[in-house]
Structure 1
Amino acid sequence: MRKLFEFIRSVYVVVLFVVLEAVSISYYARSSYYTQARLLSRSNQVVGSVHGLFAGIGHYFTLGRENRMLLARVTQLEERLAQYEEAATAERLDGYMQDIGESKYRFATASVVANTVNRTRNLITLNRGHRDGIVEEMAVLSPDGAMAGYVVACTERYSVAMSVLNTSFRASGKLADSEYYGSIYWDGLDPDVVVLGELSKYADPQPGQEVVTTGFSQYFPADVLIGWVESASLNETRTAYTARVRLAAGMSRLGEVVLVGNRDLFEIRDLQQSEQVEQHTRP
């Protein structure tokens, strides 16, 4: 007991200092709305830095796997380029590319700073923002080109995407090599499986069949891989199928992502919301 008292006597000054500092900071934080806002801003910066530090450590240990994925992707692109070169002479190919002009889509890459998969409304935080050319509603794809989500908010240096594992997520998908399409959403049950609903009763989806995007969505280009049919069943009225689709993107392992932006998106949206169009949709 005597040693305990001696220990307390030796450290009580430090403990008292820490307690007084905590009380002072608490009083300062409550003194005005301005100080509350300043402290909240500082705390957000600290949290962001900590997330970034741990994300960097995690990325370091996954570099081998990501390099293998990138190498496989480069190999696929090299094979496709070789096919183009065999199909046409360089002069014809150059002429074709000039006729095409600028691509409808633009691409960027980003690292995942934070990502959740165990909630009903999961989000992905990325280390790219407005200053890097990232804007809201850009598609987010895994490194091998599979659907992962889309951007919903941006600051100058960061952006947040709605994960495909979010019960508010919606996109259109179809069975590959067919015209049967439906709505892609997550039911909040399995983080590796999404649902393809409202699929025609004539579609007859089969296990293992590939599911891709339709291109109808404002976020995703056509034929982006979503996953593969795991099971399917007709609804009670036997008028439509509901298929469970195993995701191609490993959502719990996302380290790097590809962002895709539709250059025509805002022009199309402005047109759809114009007075000329609205006057034809009013009751």
Structure 2
Amino acid sequence: MRKLIEFIRSVYVAVLFVVLEALAVSYYAHSTHYTQARLLARSNQLAGGVHGLMAGVHRYFTLGSENRVLLDRVAQLEERLARYEEVVAASRLDSCLQGIGESKYRFAVASVVANSINRQQNLITLNRGLRDGVQPEMALLSPAGAMVGYVVDCSDRYAVAMSVLNTSFRVSGRLAGSDYFGSIYWDGVDPHVVVLGELSKYADPQPGDEVVTTGFSQYFPEDVLIGEVESAELNETRTAYTVRVRLAAEMSRLTDVVLVGNRDLYEIRELQQSEQIEQHTRLK
């Protein structure tokens, strides 16, 4: 009890001061309407600041969950954008094909899923497959109509094509406006240049001359643009030219392609492999 009385004696001055200050503030606060309004505004401002601080602290500790929600939303929007761009690209290419009448060739469009240019055996993967009418041995052209490659295999939803930048790629090509032709292949050196080999020494190729397909190939229609002559030189026996051709298609920026199928391909192949043909070609 004595200790309690001594504690009260030690702090009563401070307690009395606080009580008197509280009474003074209370009296001042209720003295006039103006004073009441001022104090209310100040108290609201202080309370608002405290609430804002607490809200900021709360938001800081919930930034992780909010960031995950935003990332999910961004992923959804990116997926929608990709679908939209795919539809736009397909529509753009479809419009390029309008007006093409019935012929021995049929056309389709596809987007490039994967493409390589820095290997010896480069391939192109497309987002169209068997269920979309894509078949092996369909030719690939750029949207501008330049040679790109041809399909080698298909699944239901995807197709894989051999790029012109593949050392196994072969097709016949000729100088535009002439009958001189040779074999188009890639030597694996420059991803912008292919070789037109075995071109007659009478062809006289000049830099800038266009090189197109011959139509002898079962893959490509006739007169599909391959590229332009960059340089030419006679072989050691001086019997044929080896021509370096700069590709018209920009292979490193390929995003969409036009697929071309020969409607008569399988009929021609079946005929060529018929028993009667074999009988006439069998060695006696």
Q: TM-score, normalised by structure 2?
A: 0.66
Distance (Å, rounded) in 1 between the aligned partners of 2:85 and 2:270: 43
SS in 2 for 1:252: helix
Q: Which residue matches 1:116?
A: 116
SS in 2 for 1:134: coil
Deviant stretches of 4+, over 3 Å: none
Is residue 70–residue 144 contact of structure 1 (8 Å, CA) maintained in 2?
no
Distance (Å, rounded) in 2 between the aligned partners of 1:125 and 1:115: 6
Q: Which residue matches 1:38?
A: none
Q: Which residue matches 1:255?
A: 255
Gaps in structure 1 of 5+ consecutive residues? 1-52, 82-96
- CA deviations on 1:6-47 (whole Å, 9 max, x unpaired) are xxxxxxxxxxxxxxxxxxxxxxxxxxxxxxxxxxxxxxxxxx
Alignment of 1:177-192 (within 5 A): 177-192=177-192
Read off the aligned partner of 2:105 and give its amino acid letter. Y
Is residue 135–residue 154 contact of structure 1 (8 Å, CA) maintained in 2?
yes
Distance (Å, rounded) in 2 between the aligned partners of 1:221 and 1:70: 18
Q: Report whether the alignment pairs 1:128 with 2:122.
A: no
Distance (Å, rounded) in 2 between the aligned partners of 1:206 and 1:182: 15
The structural deviation recorded for 1:278 is 1.2
Read off the aligned partner of 2:247 and give its amino acid letter. L
Distance 1:122 1:232, change over 3 A: same
SS in 1 for 2:218: coil
* Higher CA-based Rg: 2
The structural deviation recorded for 1:266 is 0.2
The structural deviation recorded for 1:279 is 1.6
Distance (Å, rounded) in 1 between the aligned partners of 2:85 and 2:262: 32
Distance (Å, rounded) in 2 between the aligned partners of 1:280 and 1:191: 43
Distance (Å, rounded) in 2 between the aligned partners of 1:256 and 1:157: 16
The structural deviation recorded for 1:213 is 0.2
Alignment of 1:1-283 (within 5 A): 102-283=102-283
Distance 1:151 1:181, change over 3 A: same
Is residue 182–residue 197 contact of structure 2 (8 Å, CA) maintained in 1?
yes
- CA deviations on 1:256-278 (whole Å, 9 max, x unpaired) are 00000000000000000111111
Distance (Å, rounded) in 2 between the aligned partners of 1:223 and 1:153: 25
SS in 2 for 1:178: coil
Distance (Å, rounded) in 2 between the aligned partners of 1:70 and 1:269: 30
Q: Which residue matches 1:36?
A: none
Distance (Å, rounded) in 2 between the aligned partners of 1:279 and 1:243: 40
What do you get for the CA RMSD once the two structures are aligned? 2.8
Q: Which moved more, 1:180-189 or 1:271-280?
A: 271-280
Is residue 173–residue 212 contact of structure 1 (8 Å, CA) maintained in 2?
yes
- CA deviations on 1:128-162 (whole Å, 9 max, x unpaired) are 00000000000000010000000000000000000
Distance (Å, rounded) in 2 between the aligned partners of 1:131 and 1:70: 19
The structural deviation recorded for 1:70 is 6.5
Is residue 142–residue 148 contact of structure 2 (8 Å, CA) maintained in 1?
yes
SS in 1 for 2:280: coil
Aligned residues between the structures: 203
Identical aligned pairs, as a percentage?
Answer: 74
Read off the aligned partner of 1:143 and give its amino acid letter. P
